[in-house]
Amino acid sequence: NAGVTQTPKFRVLKTGQSMTLLCAQDMNHEYMYWYRQDPGMGLRLIHYSVGEGTTAKGEVPDGYNVSRLKKQNFLLGLESAAPSQTSVYFCASRHSDRNSYNEQFFGPGTRLTVL
């Protein structure tokens, strides 16, 4: 089991460029989440998905889009990157089973710098 993996691990973009961050999980989890973490702050939820083909906005969705075409993958897109999107991005997933009690499994993060 690889758990939750994120691609790429590091990326530097110029303002206005676009990119897609990939999150993959092999635990057959229904729920998936994208968070961002800025220096000295806690995680903030960007978007989440409760199942294949569904997505919803979190706390800070502006400037991002997401897609969940396959159950195991959750993509985060930046159409026109801005310096304010410089951050560490974490993906997480969890079972919808009641017995999982909200335990989210996190990936290692993607460090994005926008110049």
Partner 1 sequence: DAKTTQPTSMDCAEGRAANLPCNHSTISGNEYVYWYRQIHSQGPQYIIHGLKNNETNEMASLIITEDRKSSTLILPHATLRDTAVYYCIVRVYGRSSGDKLTFGTGTRLAVRP
Q: Of how many residues is the chain composed?
A: 115
Size of the site for partner 1 (CB under 8 A): 31
On the CB side of 18, CA atoms within 13 Å amount to 7
User: With respect to partner 1, which residue has the nearer C-beta, 53 or 108?
Assistant: 108
14 vs 98 by CB, closer to partner 1: 98
- Per-residue x/- track, 75-114, partner 1 (CB under 8 A): -------------x-x-x-x-x-x--xxxxxxxxx-----
Binding mask 18-57 for partner 1 (x = CB under 8 A): -------------x-x-x----xxxxxx--xxx-----x-
For residue 52, report the phi and psi dihedrals to the nearest 5 degrees: -55, 130
Chain contacts with partner 1 (rule: CB under 8 A): 4, 31, 33, 35, 40-45, 48-50, 56, 58-59, 88, 90, 92, 94, 96, 98, 101-109
